[in-house]
Amino acid sequence: MSHHPKAEKENLNYIYYLVGILSGAFIGAIIEVAFAWVIAGALLGFLFSAFFVQVLAKSSEEA
């Protein structure tokens, strides 16, 4: 079995960012019809997902 290459773990953090941006934009569209709220919601969703990846999801790698 020493001839098999080691399987590298894929980095799937982009999924967290994508879900955060899309859900934030969707919530921004529901709150107000103005396009500025959609952008603000997407930005807040991105910031929340970045916090999740950096703080909360990092601890699950150690377990």
Three-state secondary structure readout of 9-41: CCCCHHHHHHHHHHHHHHHHHHHCCCHHHHHHH
Q: What is the pLDDT of residues 40-53, one digit of tens each?
A: 999 999 999 999 88
Residue 53 identity (one-letter amino acid): V
Identify the residue with better confidence: 43 or 11.
Answer: 43
pLDDT of res. 18: 92
For residue range 16-39, what is the model confidence (pLDDT) as tens digits?
899 999 999 998 888 877 788 888
- Identify whether the C-beta of residue 20 lies closer than 8 Å to the C-beta of residue 46: yes
Q: Residue 1 — pLDDT band, cuts 50, 70, 90?
A: low
